Chains A and B, each alone.
Chain A
Amino acid sequence: MATQYEFEHPKKAFGWAARDTSGVLSPFNFSRREPSEKDVALKILYCGICHSDLHKMKNEWGTINYPFVPGHEIVGIVTEVGNKVRKFKVGDKVGVGCLVDSCHSCQNCANNLENYCPTFTLTDGSKYSDGTATYGGYSDSMVSDEHFVFHIPDELPLDAAAPLLCAGITVYSPLRYFGLDKPGLHVGVVGLGGLGHMAVKFAKAFGTKVTVISTSPSKEKEAIKNLGADSFLISRDKDQMKAAMGTLDGIIDTVSADHPLLPLIGLLKSHGKLVMVGAPEKPLELPVFPLLAGRKIIAGSLIGGIKETQEMIDFAAKHKVKPDIEIIPIDYVNTAMERLLKADVKYRFVIDIGNTLKPSS
Chain B
Amino acid sequence: MAKSYETELPLKACGWAGTDTSGTLSPFNFSRRENGDDDVTLKILFCGVCHSDLHTLKNDWGFTTYPVVPGHEIVGEVTKIGNNVKNFKVGDKVGVGVMVESCQTCENCQQDLENYCPKLVFTYNSPYNGTRTYGGYSDFVVVHQRYVLQFPANLPLDAGAPLLCAGITVYSPMKYYGMTEPGKHLGVAGLGGLGHVAIKFGKAFGLKVTVISTSPNKKSEAIDKLGADSFIVSNDPEQMKAATGTIDYIIDTISADHSVLPLLGLLKLNGKLVTVGLPSKPLELPVFPLVAGRKLIGGSNFGGIKETQEMLDFCGKHNITADIELIKMDQINTAMERLSKADVKYRFVIDVANSFSSL
The interface of chain A, by Cβ under 8 A from chain B, is: 108, 113, 116, 118, 177, 246, 261-262, 270-271, 276-280, 283-302
B300 at interface (Cβ–Cβ under 8 A)? yes
Q: Top 10 A-B pairs ranked by shortest CB distance?
A: A300-B290, A291-B299, A300-B291, A299-B296, A286-B285, A292-B299, A297-B298, A283-B286, A287-B282, A270-B116
Q: Are B108 and A284 interface neighbours, CB within 8 A? A: no
Q: How many residues of B contact A (CB 8 A)?
A: 37
Q: Cα distance A291–B108 when bound, in Å?
A: 16
Q: Cα distance A275–B14 when bound, in Å?
A: 49
Chain A residues with CB under 8 A of B279 = 288
B1 at interface (Cβ–Cβ under 8 A)? no
Q: Cα distance A294–B115 when bound, in Å?
A: 9
Chain A residues with CB under 8 A of B297 = 286, 291, 297-299
Q: Are A285 and B278 interface neighbours, CB within 8 A? A: no
Q: Are A270 and B108 interface neighbours, CB within 8 A? A: yes
Question: Can you list 17 A-B pairs with a CB-CB distance of less than 8 A?
Answer: A270-B108, A276-B291, A278-B287, A280-B287, A283-B284, A283-B285, A284-B284, A285-B284, A286-B283, A288-B278, A288-B279, A292-B275, A293-B116, A295-B176, A297-B297, A300-B292, A302-B294
Q: Are B285 and A285 interface neighbours, CB within 8 A? A: yes
Q: Cα distance A246–B117 when bound, in Å?
A: 12
Q: Are B287 and A300 interface neighbours, CB within 8 A? A: yes
Known: A270-B116, A300-B287. A295 touches B299 (CB 8 A): yes
Per-position binary interface string of chain B over residues 169-190, scored 1 when its CB falls under 8 Å from any chain A CB and 0 otherwise: 0000100100000000000000
Choice from B113, B270, B296 contacting A298 with Cβ under 8 Å: B296
Known: A116-B269, A288-B282, A291-B298. A300 touches B293 (CB 8 A): yes
Q: Cα distance A235–B249 when bound, in Å?
A: 33
B301 at interface (Cβ–Cβ under 8 A)? yes
- Nearest chain-A residue to B301 (Cβ)? A292
B141 CB → nearest A CB, Å: 24
Q: Are A292 and B278 interface neighbours, CB within 8 A? A: yes
Q: Are B298 and A296 interface neighbours, CB within 8 A? A: yes
Chain B residues with CB under 8 A of A293 = 116, 299, 301
Chain A residues with CB under 8 A of B270 = 116
Q: Are A298 and B283 interface neighbours, CB within 8 A? A: no
Choice from A283, A286, A294 contacting B116 with Cβ under 8 Å: A294
Known: A283-B285, A286-B284, A288-B283. A300 touches B275 (CB 8 A): no
Q: Are A288 and B299 interface neighbours, CB within 8 A? A: yes
Q: Are B287 and A271 interface neighbours, CB within 8 A? A: no
Residue in A108, A285, A288, A291 with the greatest tally of chain B CB atoms within 10 Å: A288
Q: Are A294 and B290 interface neighbours, CB within 8 A? A: no
Chain B residues with CB under 8 A of A108 = 269
Q: Are A271 and B116 interface neighbours, CB within 8 A? A: yes
B207 at interface (Cβ–Cβ under 8 A)? no
- Nearest chain-B residue to A256 (Cβ)? B287
Chain A residues with CB under 8 A of B113 = 270-271
- Nearest chain-B residue to A282 (Cβ)? B286
Query: What's the count of A-B pairs with C-beta under 8 Å?
Result: 111
Q: Are A296 and B285 interface neighbours, CB within 8 A? A: no
B223 at interface (Cβ–Cβ under 8 A)? no
Known: A279-B287, A284-B287, A300-B291. A295 touches B300 (CB 8 A): yes
B260 at interface (Cβ–Cβ under 8 A)? yes
Q: Cα distance A246–B119 when bound, in Å?
A: 14
Chain B residues with CB under 8 A of A283 = 261, 284-287
Chain A residues with CB under 8 A of B285 = 261, 283-286, 298
Q: Are A299 and B108 interface neighbours, CB within 8 A? A: no
Q: Which of B295-353 contact A (CB under 8 A)?
A: 295-301
Chain B residues with CB under 8 A of A296 = 298-299
Beyond the given A116-B270, A295-B298, A301-B291, could you list 12 further A-B residue pairs with CB under 8 A, ordered by the A residue number?
A246-B118, A279-B291, A280-B287, A286-B282, A286-B284, A288-B282, A288-B299, A289-B278, A292-B278, A294-B301, A297-B299, A300-B287
Chain B residues with CB under 8 A of A294 = 116, 299, 301
Residue in B260, B277, B291, B297 with the greatest tally of chain A CB atoms within 10 Å: B291
A82 CB → nearest B CB, Å: 31
Chain A residues with CB under 8 A of B261 = 283
Choice from A279, A285, A297, A301 contacting B288 with Cβ under 8 Å: A279
B121 at interface (Cβ–Cβ under 8 A)? no
Chain A residues with CB under 8 A of B294 = 116, 177, 299-302
Q: Cα distance A277–B275 when bound, in Å?
A: 22
Q: Cα distance A280–B286 when bound, in Å?
A: 8
B292 CB → nearest A CB, Å: 6
Choice from B116, B245, B284, B295 contacting A300 with Cβ under 8 Å: B295
- Nearest chain-B residue to A277 (Cβ)? B291
Q: Cα distance A286–B286 when bound, in Å?
A: 9
Q: Cα distance A287–B297 when bound, in Å?
A: 11
A304 CB → nearest B CB, Å: 10
Q: Cα distance A261–B284 when bound, in Å?
A: 11
Q: Cα distance A203–B118 when bound, in Å?
A: 28
Q: Cα distance A118–B269 when bound, in Å?
A: 9
Chain A residues with CB under 8 A of B176 = 295
Q: Are A286 and B260 interface neighbours, CB within 8 A? A: yes
B263 at interface (Cβ–Cβ under 8 A)? no
- Nearest chain-B residue to A276 (Cβ)? B287
Chain A residues with CB under 8 A of B300 = 292, 295
Chain A residues with CB under 8 A of B116 = 270-271, 293-295
Per-position binary interface string of chain B over residues 69-85, scored 1 when its CB falls under 8 Å from any chain A CB and 0 otherwise: 00000000000000000
B270 CB → nearest A CB, Å: 7
B40 at interface (Cβ–Cβ under 8 A)? no
Known: A286-B283, A295-B301. A276 touches B290 (CB 8 A): yes
Chain B residues with CB under 8 A of A277 = 291
B148 at interface (Cβ–Cβ under 8 A)? no
